[in-house]
Structure 1
Amino acid sequence: MENNRKVVCYIATSVDGYIATTEDSLDWLFKAAEGQEGDMGYAEFIATIDTVVLGRRTYDWVMAAENGQFPYQDKMSYVFTSTVAEEHAFVTFTDQTVSDFVKALKEKSGKDIWVVGGSGLLHSFVEENLIDEWIISIAPVLLGKGIPLFKEVNVESSLKLKSVKSYGDFVQLHYKKL
């Protein structure tokens, strides 16, 4: 295992920059993905990850969508929360600052770290300039409103394009931080 871990945001967005509807629905994404060939690079990506990081709202959404079965049982998994954390066999709940958390993780050997979402947690990572790579799949949908991928931030980051791939009607942009 290398000790050169990266924090990666792998996420899908609508063409107009939303990651979910105002009701937290991803039905638009699942509908857009119907009939697309393959997994749009997910299997290749997930093989590079051994740690997943979620915000509390995203965790709750995932657990509801997966009928209480946590989908990343083979990964170290952390949920950022400010509420009292229950115990879960596959998840560690934390209220650390994202900068302290990432520093501690990067000092350990392992694979890359996936910031699954949501928008609030991602905002904290962006504000601290902690995302090393962005893999953003753009779905062929305009939502008009919803939960934005990016909130207004007080930081500027320069990125370098690593690749552009198309998967049917989807486009995937892969950037690394300079």
Structure 2
Amino acid sequence: MRNLVLFIATSLDGYIATKDESLDWLFKVEGEGDNGYAKFYETVDTVLIGKKTYDWIMKHETGEFPYKNKECYVFTRSPIEDNENVRFINDDITSFTNELKNQEGKNIWIVGGGELLQSFIKEKLVDEIILTIAPTVIGNGIPLFKEGDYQLDLTLKGTKNYNQFIELHYGVNN
């Protein structure tokens, strides 16, 4: 079975973006190379994105679609035509994701956002969390983990240092 992996950066106080969806705080931190992104990116062949995150990427990304060489699925509640880069999914998240996990291939990356992640957590679909923490406190914003009735028990698989960033790699005990 393939693993469903969350690979994401967060502020020290647990936010993935400011209230106005800015990531400026993240890019002010001095990292090392690409902070492990390229190495991680090689371990996945499928990308899952929520519609809000997809819209943010399309608005802020200049040039080519960033996940062009991967199978890319965007979860949405609206019927939207697929395009050359993504397939829009409004099926049941659990059955669709389990179908993907049972196919041959590399890991599956949860790019974001918070609502999609919460659905995956509630349904116990997440297998690994690779969390890169920036030494920044932003006070409020979009939280990595939304408040809810769930609990995740994790096992630390490793840590890495990328200059000012710390990466924590956890396995999820389902």
Tell me which interval the TM-score lies in, with the shorter structure as reference length: over 0.9
CA contact (8 A) 1:63 1:69 kept: no
* Alignment root-mean-square deviation, CA: 1.2
Give structure 1 stretches of 5+ with no counterpart.
Answer: none
CA contact (8 A) 2:53 2:112 kept: yes
Superposed displacement of residue 68, structure 1: 6.5
Partner secondary structure for residue 82 of structure 1: coil
Deviations 1:5-63 (A, max 9, x none): 1000000000000000100111111122xx42211111111110000000001001111
Aligned residues: 173
- TM norm structure 1: 0.93
Instruction: Pick the aligned partner of 1:127 from 105, 108, 122.
Output: 122
Q: Note if 1:18 corresponds to 2:15.
A: yes
CA contact (8 A) 1:138 1:171 kept: yes
In 2: Cα distance, 1:107 partner to 1:134 partner: 19
CA contact (8 A) 2:79 2:90 kept: no
The residue type paired with residue 59 of structure 2 is A
CA contact (8 A) 1:129 1:155 kept: no
In 2: Cα distance, 1:86 partner to 1:141 partner: 39
In 2: Cα distance, 1:87 partner to 1:63 partner: 14
Partner residue, 2:85: 90
In 2: Cα distance, 1:83 partner to 1:15 partner: 34
Give structure 2 stretches of 5+ with no counterpart.
Answer: none
Query: Which segment is superposed worse, 90-99 or 46-55?
Result: 90-99
CA contact (8 A) 2:73 2:87 kept: yes
Superposition misfits of 4+ residues, deviation over 4 angstroms: none
Superposed displacement of residue 153, structure 1: 2.4
Instruction: Summarize the alignment of residues 45-124 of structure 1 with structure 2, pairs less than 5 Å apart.
Output: 45-67=40-62, 69-124=64-119
- TM norm structure 2: 0.95
Instruction: Summarize the alignment of residues 162-173 of structure 1 with structure 2, pairs less than 5 Å apart.
Output: 162-173=157-168
